[in-house]
A and B are shown apart, each in its own frame.
Chain A
Amino acid sequence: EPEVTQTPSHQVTQMGQEVILRCVPISNHLYFYWYRQILGQKVEFLVSFYNNEISEKSEIFDDQFSVERPDGSNFTLKIRSTKLEDSAMYFCASRADRGNQPQHFGDGTRLSIL
């Protein structure tokens, strides 16, 4: 069964450094998402992306965050200057098309900011 894949599985970074989290969505999917989950808390929406542009973003997704689809397969989340509170699991998800299709999640990247 096709899967969403994310790399790396764990990223440790010094506060203030830039990080790029990578995702390869399921190949025929058109909608892409980033969510995060702080340890022990619920999953929170960050951003959705369709047709090479952001379609929706949350208040968490401030100017420090950006997303990109640099080629036909990768979908990246960049955090420009990390803060301690950015430590979380970051999940990428993708969906086939508009309408009632579920979002499929990757295994996540655990981001630890020191």
Chain B
Amino acid sequence: GQQVMQIPQYQHVQEGEDFTTYCNSSTTLSNIQWYKQRPGGHPVFLIQLVKSGEVKKQKRLTFQFGEAKKNSSLHITATQTTDVGTYFCAGLYFGNEKLTFGTGTRLTIIP
């Protein structure tokens, strides 16, 4: 079936260090979306990647979509305490309406 795997499950970094989370789909995606969820909060949309090999940046965040449209990554440069939360990728498959969420990477920052 269609699955989205995400690693790592947890990441603890010192403030100022970089952070990366990776998503991998079992089959080709139509697009992939990234969400951030703060503890006790709801998923907040960050970005959507549609094209093969696409790279998008939002300040310290860099999002990549693989050439085969089966994997994606989110990289945060020089983490800050405000980056704390769980980062989910969510894939959209061709012909589907539903988002298939990854398992999430919970980022904690050591000040």
Contacts and interface: CB of A to CB of B under 8 A. Distances in A.
Interface stretch (A13-21, A38-46, A63-71, A73-81): A38-46
28 contacts: A33-B97, A33-B98, A33-B99, A35-B99, A35-B101, A42-B101, A42-B102, A42-B103, A42-B104, A43-B90, A43-B99, A45-B98, A45-B99, A45-B100, A45-B101, A48-B97, A56-B96, A89-B42, A100-B48, A102-B33, A103-B33, A103-B45, A104-B45, A105-B35, A105-B42, A106-B42, A107-B42, A108-B42
Contacts of A41: 103
Given A42-B88, A43-B88, A43-B90, A103 B42 contact: no
The interface size bin for chain B is: 20 to 34
Contact of B45 (A35, A58, A100, A102): A102
B100 A91 contact: no
Interface string A76-114: 000000000000010100000000101111111000000
Contact of A105 (B43, B96, B97, B102): B43
Interface of B: 31, 33, 35, 41-45, 48, 50, 88, 90, 96-104
Contacts, number: 52
Nearest to A56: B97
The interface size bin for chain A is: 20 to 34
Say what secondary structure dominates the interface of chain A.
Answer: strand
A91 B45 contact: no
A55 interface: yes
